[in-house]
Chains A and B, each alone.
Chain A
């Protein structure tokens, strides 16, 4: 794999360490409710980070911690949200999968964000040309009718809508082969929507490959579906992985660490320490207070 700038690797490993810490906190009974980690998929939002602008809107989903941390260097606010502590991004009301900060917004219902993103994209096209609405969805999301209603509308109205599909091959417990007839590419083609699939896990290669496509989506508005064929290393939420133990899982970081051991060790140690400090500091905060309904 190509070497990464320290900054990129630091962000990737911040996300990884953050997610690992969440699973550990759950195991210790320190967290309430549920969470969905993006272990293995960290490189997707990190690759896209320099290609997205502050003026772009980002719509995230249930598996969104990486999306948030790639947008905001704010593990404190995110963990406080998940732990219900003071300083939480959304006062502890939204939790892991309902975050809003500026032009970043996540929702917990599959497919729900795409029509909303289309509406935002309509506004952007008219008032802020060049900006786009980026919505992260998964392979399972393609079972929802809202996806097709929104794609149709966005294609008809030529809206600057970037749909990032994190196709990790498994929807909660259901493999893609058991829940999707045909392909994402075929479905995009049916609407005359641009589609590009990537298997690469290399951040620099991904950026090279998608940068001109995203630029085109800005200057020649219309939806673009970027399908990352990626790999979910962890469970759907926590302790609910029914895949056979020992099944081979593809991990970008295993490959990277093998190729760049010294840099990896140094930056992973720093990321680990940072997350530990954040967790200790946030856990000691008082409960979040909500101004009310």
Chain B
């Protein structure tokens, strides 16, 4: 099953099982079913709770927060995650703050879905991955869709948190298959550890390096791992968390060996360089594992640049499998 289909089925199941769930967004009604078809079939089945909205991201997020305040649950689709900037006040100054700013905890079950990322030629304002702008907001959690984590479980978890969550969804991932249990390909296998999917060589052993990436980078990371293994004889491990923030991999005992007994930890992400999620993760690892880390954590981001539209220019700015491979080689041998 493809990731997009898994997400669509998760929304179907959520609406079916919980009559307090609403889905709001632009152009999400059938037969259109949303710009990326993730909401397909929802409005025909649940016409009362799947609501097409005007082009008003601020009001969509605000109305969703109002529904949550009144005891419902809301899932918002921001057509392109870039437009979450238009909802920033409602997310940061209202929904997230309301959880705690009234003295006693106010449950705010609200998920804001953000189709993100480039590699599709949509240009500077339709290709971004905006995690870094939402990092560290009290009362706000960030998640990302991965090909390992079943989206129904992820949605249930986010709504149960009782605080607003952003769900980043790499648009390229929608058409990729979900990984079933165990195998990634003939070289690598994966297993869940806490909320982190761990990808390793099927025959195990301490890795030469460990990658940490959000779900959208999984295929580029695995491609880099193949090349590093086959051409450079370097065995890697890959950690893919579902929840990006807060995220403390060194706090998961089973993950510590993969971080402390490896030649290099490298965090890769699609956001543009500077003030990034990866820097935040690296700072945590440096603090928690100082003295056991073999080297400083290496960081891979998109270039500190707008994301161009033309395919050859976009490729130069965004993270590729070769970017990750080079960072690992440079980190280990540079």
Binding site for B on A (CB under 8 A): 57, 88-94, 98-100, 105, 107, 109, 112, 114-124, 126, 133, 145-146, 149-150, 152-153, 156-157, 290-291, 293
Query: Could you tell me if A112 and B89 are in contact, using CB atoms closer than 8 angstroms?
Result: yes
Known contacts A109-B93, A112-B62; 20 additional CB pairs below 8 A are A89-B103, A93-B102, A93-B103, A99-B102, A107-B93, A109-B89, A115-B66, A118-B59, A119-B65, A120-B66, A120-B67, A121-B66, A122-B66, A122-B67, A123-B72, A146-B90, A149-B62, A150-B59, A152-B59, A291-B103
The contact of A93 among B56, B70, B71, B100, by CB within 8 Å, is B100
* Set of chain A residues within 8 Å of B98, measured between Cβ atoms: 100
Q: Considering the chains assembled together, what is the distance between the CA atoms of A178 and B67 in angstroms? A: 36
The contact of B103 among A94, A121, A126, by CB within 8 Å, is A94
CB nearest neighbor in B for A89: B103
Those of B117-151 within 8 Å (CB) of chain A: 138-139
Q: Considering the chains assembled together, what is the distance between the CA atoms of A234 and B228 in angstroms? A: 71
0/1 interface trace, chain B 82-112, chain A, CB 8 Å (1 if under): 0000000110011001101111101000000
Query: Is B322 part of the contact surface with A, judged by Cβ < 8 Å?
Result: no
Q: Considering the chains assembled together, what is the distance between the CA atoms of A235 and B53 in angstroms? A: 40
Most chain B beta carbons < 10 A, residue from A94, A114, A116, A121: A116
Query: Is B334 part of the contact surface with A, judged by Cβ < 8 Å?
Result: no
Q: How far is the CB of B24 from chain A (nearest CB, A)?
A: 9
* Set of chain B residues within 8 Å of A156, measured between Cβ atoms: 54
Query: Is B267 part of the contact surface with A, judged by Cβ < 8 Å?
Result: no
The contact of A116 among B54, B66, B102, B139, by CB within 8 Å, is B66
CB nearest neighbor in B for A147: B59
Q: Considering the chains assembled together, what is the distance between the CA atoms of A92 and B100 in angstroms? A: 12
Query: Could you tell me if A291 and B62 are in contact, using CB atoms closer than 8 angstroms?
Result: no
Q: A93-B101, A94-B103 are contacts. A149–B70 as well, Cβ < 8 Å?
A: no
Q: Considering the chains assembled together, what is the distance between the CA atoms of A194 and B55 in angstroms? A: 23
Query: Is B15 part of the contact surface with A, judged by Cβ < 8 Å?
Result: no
Q: Considering the chains assembled together, what is the distance between the CA atoms of A126 and B67 in angstroms? A: 11
Query: Could you tell me if A98 and B90 are in contact, using CB atoms closer than 8 angstroms?
Result: no
The contact of A150 among B62, B67, B70, B104, by CB within 8 Å, is B62
Most chain A beta carbons < 10 A, residue from B58, B67, B93: B58
Those of B272-292 within 8 Å (CB) of chain A: none
Q: Considering the chains assembled together, what is the distance between the CA atoms of A38 and B317 in angstroms? A: 54
Query: Is B63 part of the contact surface with A, judged by Cβ < 8 Å?
Result: yes
Query: Could you tell me if B103 and A116 are in contact, using CB atoms closer than 8 angstroms?
Result: no
CB nearest neighbor in B for A106: B102
A-B contact pairs, 18 of them (CB 8 A): A90-B104, A91-B103, A94-B101, A100-B103, A112-B90, A115-B60, A118-B63, A119-B63, A119-B66, A119-B67, A122-B63, A123-B67, A146-B58, A149-B59, A153-B56, A153-B63, A157-B51, A290-B103
* Set of chain A residues within 8 Å of B61, measured between Cβ atoms: 115
Those of B287-331 within 8 Å (CB) of chain A: none
Query: Is B64 part of the contact surface with A, judged by Cβ < 8 Å?
Result: yes
The contact of B69 among A90, A114, A116, by CB within 8 Å, is A116
Q: How far is the CB of B76 from chain A (nearest CB, A)?
A: 11
Q: Considering the chains assembled together, what is the distance between the CA atoms of A133 and B98 in angstroms? A: 18
The contact of A115 among B59, B68, B106, B138, by CB within 8 Å, is B59
Q: A115-B90, A152-B54 are contacts. A92–B103 as well, Cβ < 8 Å?
A: yes
CB nearest neighbor in B for A153: B59
Q: How far is the CB of B45 from chain A (nearest CB, A)?
A: 18
The contact of B101 among A90, A122, A123, by CB within 8 Å, is A90
Q: How far is the CB of B326 from chain A (nearest CB, A)?
A: 41
* Set of chain A residues within 8 Å of B93, measured between Cβ atoms: 107, 109, 112
* Set of chain B residues within 8 Å of A133, measured between Cβ atoms: 66
Q: How far is the CB of B2 from chain A (nearest CB, A)?
A: 32
Query: Could you tell me if B69 and A124 are in contact, using CB atoms closer than 8 angstroms?
Result: no
* Set of chain B residues within 8 Å of A293, measured between Cβ atoms: 100, 138-139
Q: How far is the CB of B111 from chain A (nearest CB, A)?
A: 14
Query: Could you tell me if B65 and A116 are in contact, using CB atoms closer than 8 angstroms?
Result: yes
CB nearest neighbor in A for B138: A293
Q: How far is the CB of B79 from chain A (nearest CB, A)?
A: 15
* Set of chain B residues within 8 Å of A122, measured between Cβ atoms: 63, 66-67
Q: Considering the chains assembled together, what is the distance between the CA atoms of A88 and B66 in angstroms? A: 24
The contact of B54 among A91, A120, A145, A149, by CB within 8 Å, is A149
* Set of chain B residues within 8 Å of A112, measured between Cβ atoms: 62, 89-90, 93-94
Query: Could you tell me if B138 and A152 are in contact, using CB atoms closer than 8 angstroms?
Result: no
Q: Considering the chains assembled together, what is the distance between the CA atoms of A90 and B99 in angstroms? A: 12
Q: Which 8 A-B pairs have the closest CB atoms?
A: A119-B66, A115-B62, A91-B103, A149-B59, A119-B63, A90-B103, A100-B102, A123-B70
Q: Considering the chains assembled together, what is the distance between the CA atoms of A94 and B70 in angstroms? A: 20
Query: Could you tell me if A123 and B94 are in contact, using CB atoms closer than 8 angstroms?
Result: no
* Set of chain B residues within 8 Å of A105, measured between Cβ atoms: 69, 102
* Set of chain A residues within 8 Å of B54, measured between Cβ atoms: 149, 152-153, 156
0/1 interface trace, chain B 135-173, chain A, CB 8 Å (1 if under): 000110000000000000000000000000000000000
Q: How far is the CB of A138 from chain B (nearest CB, A)?
A: 17
Query: Could you tell me if A116 and B63 are in contact, using CB atoms closer than 8 angstroms?
Result: yes
Most chain B beta carbons < 10 A, residue from A88, A98, A115, A145: A115
CB nearest neighbor in A for B24: A119
Query: Could you tell me if A94 and B63 are in contact, using CB atoms closer than 8 angstroms?
Result: no
Q: Considering the chains assembled together, what is the distance between the CA atoms of A109 and B48 in angstroms? A: 31
* Set of chain B residues within 8 Å of A89, measured between Cβ atoms: 103
Q: Considering the chains assembled together, what is the distance between the CA atoms of A293 and B139 in angstroms? A: 8
Q: Considering the chains assembled together, what is the distance between the CA atoms of A17 and B139 in angstroms? A: 37
